[in-house]
Amino acid sequence: MVITSCVSLSVMWEPDRSIEYDHRLIPDQLNTPDDVLRGVNVDDGYNLADDFSGDVDYDDDNNGSDDGEDGGDDNGEDGGDDDGEEDDHGEDGGDDDVTPRLTEISNFSAALLSSYDPLPVVFPLWKCSDLRNDPASIATKLSFVHIFKTAGTAVNSFLRDYSVKCGGGYVRIVSCTHAEPDSVRNSTKDWKDCTLKKGVNRDGKKLHDDYERKVTNSFLAENIDIIGGHFRIGTMDMIPTPGGEKFDIRYLAFFRDAVSRHISGVTYIKGKGKKKWKKDQIVDYIKKNVINMKKQNKYEVKYKTYLETPWQKESRHRRLKNNDRDEDYAMSGAMTVMRNLVDYRTIIGRTENFSDSLEILQHVVDGGREATKIFVGHGMADADGKVQKSVSNPSKISSSEILAEIKEDREAYDALVEYVKYEQMIYDFAAELQAAQLGAVRAANDLAAGLHASAQIAAKRVTLAIDGEESP
């Protein structure tokens, strides 16, 4: 893994504003040589509008509702999952046989990790006071991709409070994972199928709050510094600066253990509406569904709904004539996501270590530590290492209880682990990226603290020398 001198994080590295990220818009250029030889495009995949059989619409963006914001999205805790630890599903279930597919995707992720440099990812965007004093001069924006059931409520709540504190413009966008690429590319056209739901202006006043206000590049460019919501990575790349160039967009995404996220998603979907399912009904549904998916050789890659770009989705739909979800498509979808997380310099958060995730984010948007109180209030450890627990909208049915019951049925549990195994690979890959980012941030902070201490000692020596006293 590439970790250069931490001095470059705060002194030497500068973003190249002249770079045009056109390579992101051409999906075929994201293929590795191995992919070309194998004849599989990493951008190929399937339509994830419905990740379940039957009547469950797992992608709530299809109907304009708001995945988890109005209930159930809760830092990954779901009314009882609060140990903050990751489940090791590999030892208790799943297929441990090494297959050519698993070897290939493992080699692919290892190659990405071996050359990964976290420093451009965690390079500071701005200080809190920068937003307050002259936000219009900042040529960067933070874009939070809210993935279903990954602490989106908590993160959006934090981003709003941070924006009010620092004088930044913040908005949350919903129903945008199916945005029409041509409308996103246009600087004045409304983004088709996307709406603004909540937000604050730079003066701290609330934005108009309804489902009628449409999204445009010009509005985001002129008024908004931090964007959160349900949209695809890359969606914000076309926002133009006043000079006609592109803003430097830094993407943020949170991840969650695959089994836990799947169970939480089903619980949320089945627990809303008039017919609220009980725990036994949810357990029975999940068991039957995953066993059926295993028989059909189908897999879940829900992350692709958010971490495949609009341009990649557009290209994929032109090439594919079916929406199958077999293992080749699942693997290629996972590879697309992994590559995009690296190419888009994505800041990684995880529900299982929310405090560390906020620590990384503070380095990026609050280098002067002016908003520390906001970070600590939303779950970052304070100076004494204590974490103020922050849980949003806990589910009435615990995911851990449901998982415990599923584990009692070996066939069902093995099928569940198999069904989400590519989701788990994405999660594991994201965890590796986050570890590198956290290491770079802490190294930079340690260096800054050391330099500060050295400067204080040097200043004291100068003072003593002027006073004619012997320096220590």
Question: Of 160, 127, 330, 134, whose CA–CA distance to 228 is shortest?
Answer: 160
Q: Using 50, 70 and 90 to split pLDDT, how confident is the model at 204?
A: confident
If phi > 0 it is left, if psi is from -120 to 50 it is alpha, else beta; for residue 375 that is alpha
Strand 226-231 relative to strand 170-176: parallel, antiparallel, unpaired?
parallel
Please give the share of the chain, as a percent, with pLDDT higher than 90: 47
Instruction: Please tell me the least confidently modeled range out of 29-38, 90-99, 206-215, 390-399.
Output: 29-38
Whether the Cβ atoms of residue 417 and residue 396 lie closer than 8 Å to each other? no
pTM value is 0.79
The rounded mean pLDDT for the chain is 77
Q: What are the phi and psi torsion angles at 253 (to 5°)?
A: -145, 145
Q: How far apart (Å, rounded) are the C-alpha atoms in residues 356 and 359? A: 5
Q: Looking at this protein, which amino acid is placed at residue 433?
A: L
Domain boundaries defined on the chain = 7-436
Whether the per-residue pLDDT at 294 is higher than 80: the answer is yes
Q: Using 50, 70 and 90 to split pLDDT, how confident is the model at 412?
A: very high
